[in-house]
Chains A and B, each alone.
Chain A
Amino acid sequence: MRHKKSQLFNLSLIIVTIVVFITAMFFIGDNTEAFRQQVGVRAFNILDTYQWGEKFLIYVDQAAKYSAFNAVYGIADNGGFIGDSECGRYIEYNLLSNADGRECVPDYEANLEKQVLENLNKYLDIYPVSEEGQYSFKIKIKKEKIEYDLLFNGENLIGTTMDEVTIEIYGKPKEGVMNIIGTYDVNPSFNVDVGYDIRDYDLLISQASTIYGCRTEKEMAGLIECVKKNKPDNWQLREDLIKDERVFAFDVNSSYKLIKYDETDRLAYLRPVVYKFAIYFPTQTIVT
């Protein structure tokens, strides 16, 4: 080495090396906790979090299914309505037609959708949102109210949402404060087989139209006979509720069986869906 500049290079290289290493040592010393973690722990944390997402999604699927079950029974029990029919009630049965000859056909799809969403929110509200994770120190699920669009497609219920559920991943607390090291977002849309087709109502209404022809019978005895003769086999006429009025209550057993909770013995059973409604057979002209 014959030049002064190149001689300076040797010394400066040593000095720079020492400075870099000392700086690195202090830097690493400040973050020893991170360096002492096992290699891959954070990657496994992410896998663990993914499982938490899956756990929430299976819960949503089941909740959607049960929300539909409860809604189907509730609405069927009420003749397809939420609350009272515009035609009024006959005892505890909603009327599909009244004394004025007015027909009240329920908007069963909208009613069912409304009821399913209400039930689903009840289920989502009770989901535990904070748990100790196995590989992350704590996991918290953050869910605001999720807005769903529902679609009944054959026997499937499809729920789509643009909302996300955020799973917060916590690291070791820093100075007593929980330390969020990352988040994982899942979209809780679902598509579940509820084993029930909403078009069952279409069949019911067309069958109701058939026996509605009996209103031409002037005498009560003839009307009863006509209704008994023309009603489908699965329609059970509540003869115990027949009074002097030209109104009849029916229990219609559907071919669909769903899970239903029995309040009396507090057990779940598979029960057929039963549509309950009443029809008034007026003598005057029908108003629609």
Chain B
Amino acid sequence: MFRGRFKKKGGIALGSIPAELFAFAVLAVVLLFFFVLFYVQGCGNSNAASLTAVDLETKFDSDIVLLNYLRTPITVGGVDLAMADSVDFNFNPVYKDIIKGESDKIRRKGDNYIWCRKDCAGQRGSYADPDMDFVCVADSYYLPTINYSIVEVEAYRLR
């Protein structure tokens, strides 16, 4: 059919519509069809990125704060240590008040964070007043103890 029409001077035509116009119309339809198809497939994900970003901002911020908190230098009995070292003194009444004092000093300067050993959740007030309302804000960190065991600590922030 087309062979005959190609031979004609002036180009092919379908009825009264020029072939060029028909081709562009079909192209437009094809593009529109696939646009709709792909749009439907991707529907529902458009707002996800911003929601995730807000959530992660809080988490990463807390992780970094906890890391800095654990590395903060403190003085216990005239000896320079880091806050992370105080996990070992957690159960020792001799150092409890000293550590709490150091923890309070840091808290007054900063973000109202404390850390707590996961294995003593009931004692998380050991470095804070018992009536304070703390909320867990970060992933936990593993820290070694002097007697070759391991403890998990979490960050809490004053609500």
Contacts and interface: CB of A to CB of B under 8 A. Distances in A.
A, B co-complexed: yes
Interface of A: 1-2, 4, 7, 10-11, 13-14, 17-18, 21, 24-25, 28, 32, 35-36, 38-41, 44, 47, 51, 54-55, 58-59, 62-63, 65-66, 69-70, 119, 122-123, 126-128, 134-135, 193, 195, 257-261, 266-270
B6 A268 contact: no
A262 to B, nearest CB: 9
A16 to B, nearest CB: 10
B16 interface: no
A10 B6 contact: no
21 contacts: A1-B19, A2-B9, A4-B6, A7-B19, A10-B20, A25-B38, A32-B41, A35-B41, A47-B60, A58-B71, A126-B150, A127-B142, A134-B59, A195-B81, A257-B77, A257-B79, A258-B79, A260-B146, A268-B146, A270-B77, A270-B79
Contact of B52 (A25, A28, A38): A38
A134 B26 contact: no
Given A14-B30, A40-B52, A267-B92, 12 more contacts: A7-B19, A10-B23, A14-B27, A39-B48, A58-B71, A59-B141, A59-B142, A62-B85, A119-B148, A261-B145, A261-B147, A267-B91
Interface string B68-101: 0011000011111110110011011011000000
Contacts of A14: 23, 26-27, 30
Contacts of B121: none
B70 A58 contact: yes
Contacts of B67: 54, 58
Contacts of A41: 52
Contacts of B24: 10
B10 interface: yes
B56 interface: yes
B136 interface: no
Contact of A259 (B20, B85, B150): B85
A193 B141 CA distance: 21
- A-B interface, 3 closest residue pairs, ranked by CB to CB distance from nearest: A10-B23, A38-B48, A268-B88
Contacts of B144: 59, 62-63, 66, 123, 126
Q: What secondary structure prevails in chain A residues at the interface with B?
A: helix
B149 A126 contact: yes
Contact of B49 (A38, A134, A267): A38
Contacts of B20: 1, 7, 10
A21 B34 contact: yes
B135 to A, nearest CB: 16
Contacts of B19: 1, 7, 10
B81 to A, nearest CB: 8
A69 B146 CA distance: 8
A1 B70 contact: no
B1 interface: no
A122 B149 CA distance: 10
B37 interface: yes
B102 interface: no
A285 B50 CA distance: 84
A68 B94 CA distance: 23
B139 interface: yes
A242 to B, nearest CB: 34
B12 interface: yes
Interface in B44-73: 45, 48-49, 51-53, 56, 59-60, 63, 67, 70-71
A7 B10 CA distance: 11
Contacts of A13: 23, 27
A36 to B, nearest CB: 7
B38 to A, nearest CB: 8
A54 B63 CA distance: 10
A21 B30 contact: yes
B11 interface: yes
B146 A36 contact: no
Contacts of B94: 267, 269
